[in-house]
Amino acid sequence: MSNIGLFDSGVGGLSVLRAVARELPVYDLVYFADQKYCPYGSRPAQEIRALSKRITEFLISENCRIIVVACNTASAAALYFLRETFPHIQFVGMEPAVKPAALATRTGKVAVLATPGTLDGELFTRTRDEHAREVQVFTVYPDDWVARVERGDIASPETEMSVRRVLEPLLEQGVDMIVLGCTHYPFLAPLMKKIAQGDAMLIDPSDAVALRTASIVFDQHSPEIQDRRGALAFYTSGDARTFERLVRQLIRVVAPAQQRLA
């Protein structure tokens, strides 16, 4: 049985790994955090494609035949390129959950929180134009959230103030659906819920991505029924000890990490 690979610019994709592990508990998962080059959000698309290509080559060497691009920015810049470059690999990408937000809003006002690489990308533009023509879409780039999550700073008063600065103006304008368009942002969801106080719903696409990944797995193989938990392997292009600490803090998994592609 081949492994399932996931990668992100850093620890954000751990929110997706957590969802995939819940959906496919007996499958082995390999996660790569490209922390040496984090964040991807403001990098040119050509550079993101090159970084994504080398990570994909590494994950293939780790026997991954399904790869989740657990990064909205990399999905926007590199997903089509990766599918063309590695036609024998099944890729699952992140897409801002604009459609469910547009369908569920009561006020007709939806916010998408994401990086410039996502908001300026063709994937988001097409999704918004196809599914949100009848609603007002606010787009916001919270410029320090990725860095805060990468430090594990997800509950401090300073982080709460940063989240408040982003959310309060949206809530005042009547936004009732907030799309988390970066995989780092779910780790700030407790603060967002505290500030929103039920006035807005958070939409995290991680579960939908996990379901899509499972459907690909089950299309290729019968569901595995085993009395075992799938193994989790963690790699980073940054500092392995720091990454181990963040994995333990963010998803409550104690596991060794190894440095690769440094």
Residues in Cβ contact with 24 at an 8 Å cutoff, skipping those fewer than 6 apart: 4, 210, 213, 214, 217, 230
Q: Compute and round to an integer the Cα radius of gyration of the chain.
A: 18
Q: Catalytic residue among 19, 20, 66, 71, which? A: 71
Whether the CB-CB separation of 54 and 28 falls below 8 Å is answered with no
Active site residue 64: no
Which DSSP letter does residue 202 get?
A: E
For the record, the structure tokens of 77 come out as: 């810049």
Residue 171 to residue 196: CA distance in whole angstroms: 7
Residue 260 to residue 202: CA distance in whole angstroms: 34
Whether the CB-CB separation of 260 and 236 falls below 8 Å is answered with yes
Active site residue 71: yes
Q: Catalytic residue among 182, 200, 203, 250, which? A: 182
Q: Which residues are marked as active site? A: 71, 182
